[in-house]
Amino acid sequence: MSEAATQAPADRKAYIVTGPTSGIGRATALELAKHGTIVLVSRDRQRLDDVQKTIEQSGRSAVSIVCDLSDIASVRRAASEIIALDLPIAGLLNNAGIMQMRPTRNALGWDMSFATNHLGPFALTEALAPHLPDGAHVVFVASAVEDPERKPAVAAGFRGGRYISAEASARGEWKPGGAKRPGFDAYATSKQAVLAAAMAFARETPRLRFNAVEPGVNPTTALARDVGVFVRILSKYIIPALVPLLIPFIKVLSTPERAARVITKIMIDGSKQTGVYYDEGGHPMSGSARVCDPKFQDRVVAETRALLSSVRASRAETA
């Protein structure tokens, strides 16, 4: 346990934020720190320390947990460490995510986008949920690119989520007729699965508040880490100056700071809203027809649980 955790007031709320070292995650961690202790969860220790230092320099409290969300064993260890902190957790923000232009695989041979964006957050949520107090918020950062009818997403080259099964997705296999650009189907399908799971969780566990949010198009985030140098330069120096000017005219555009304010509002909401999918402005929206189907939601959850259980079983057999 870190010194920050031991010094946190026992009655002060705490919020878990995954992927807090850049973009929307960092902005939300800094915003949520105004309301309680922040449990920062990421795979990069140095960058975690940087965010924790920033929060603590502002007179607020944070604790860091190293976790690679693409590695289920790492997720389970992190969950145990978070539980051991014995903090009054008021919310879990499943924000961490990647979109690879050139798909890669983790040690288990799973597609990295699907593992990081869906399987990891799913496993973390399942491990922590029994330890969260009644009324705690669990928010998933989703994406409207899962919807094949979403015009801005279609214009960008997405063709919606292409879910076949959890096992097929882990293998990097998607329903035919998808996007031409490598990585797009993996990203859209991972977001389709995580949104379906959020809605199913809301029905399964009414004592907690499960919701999802579409954070808008944030061109300055580090979501696509393997883009070219030219695009990285645009994202760092040119686009940040243009986006605030364009937001009034392009509804889906946003910034990490704007998304952070919307997410924070959802995370600290005192109402009993659950099973809601919020848009970039914090208003309820609908996902794709498929993701709104309770039968599909339940199938995604059942298949994901079976896949994750097989990992635990296979490791137990080799132990």
Name the least confident of 58-62, 219-223, 298-302.
219-223
C-alpha to C-alpha distance for 316 and 293, rounded to whole angstroms: 35
Q: What tens digit of pLDDT does each residue of 243-301 get?
A: 343 344 345 566 899 999 999 999 999 999 999 999 999 999 999 999 999 999 999 99
Q: What is the mean pLDDT of residues 32-40?
A: 98
Query: In CATH, which superfamily holds the domain spanning 3-304?
Result: NAD(P)-binding Rossmann-like Domain (3.40.50.720)
DSSP string, 164-190: S-HHHHHTT---SS--SSTTHHHHHHH
Name the least confident of 68-77, 182-191, 225-234, 282-291.
225-234
Q: What tens digit of pLDDT does each residue of 174-216 get?
A: 999 999 998 999 999 999 999 999 999 999 999 999 999 999 8
Name the band, by pLDDT with cuts 50, 70 and 90, for residue 152. confident
Beta partners for residue 16, in sequence order: 39, 92
Helix axes of 294-318 and 184-204: crossing angle, nearest 10 degrees: 100
Domain ranges of the chain: 3-304
Provide the mean pLDDT of the chain.
88
Order of strands across the sheet with 37-42? 62-66, 37-42, 14-18, 89-94, 137-141, 209-213, 277-278
Residues in CB range of 86: below 8 A, 6 or more apart? none
pTM, rounded to two decimals:
0.87
What pLDDT does 220 receive?
Answer: 59
Name the band, by pLDDT with cuts 50, 70 and 90, for residue 238. very low
Q: What is the mean pLDDT of residues 63-88?
A: 98
β-strand 37-42 against 209-213: which pairing, if any? Answer: unpaired
What pLDDT does 236 receive?
Answer: 46
Q: Which residues in 244-270 are b (16+ Cβ under 10 Å) and which e?
A: eeebeeeebbbbbebbbbbbbebbbbe
Share of the chain above pLDDT 90, in %: 78
Q: Per-residue pLDDT for 172 more than 80?
A: yes
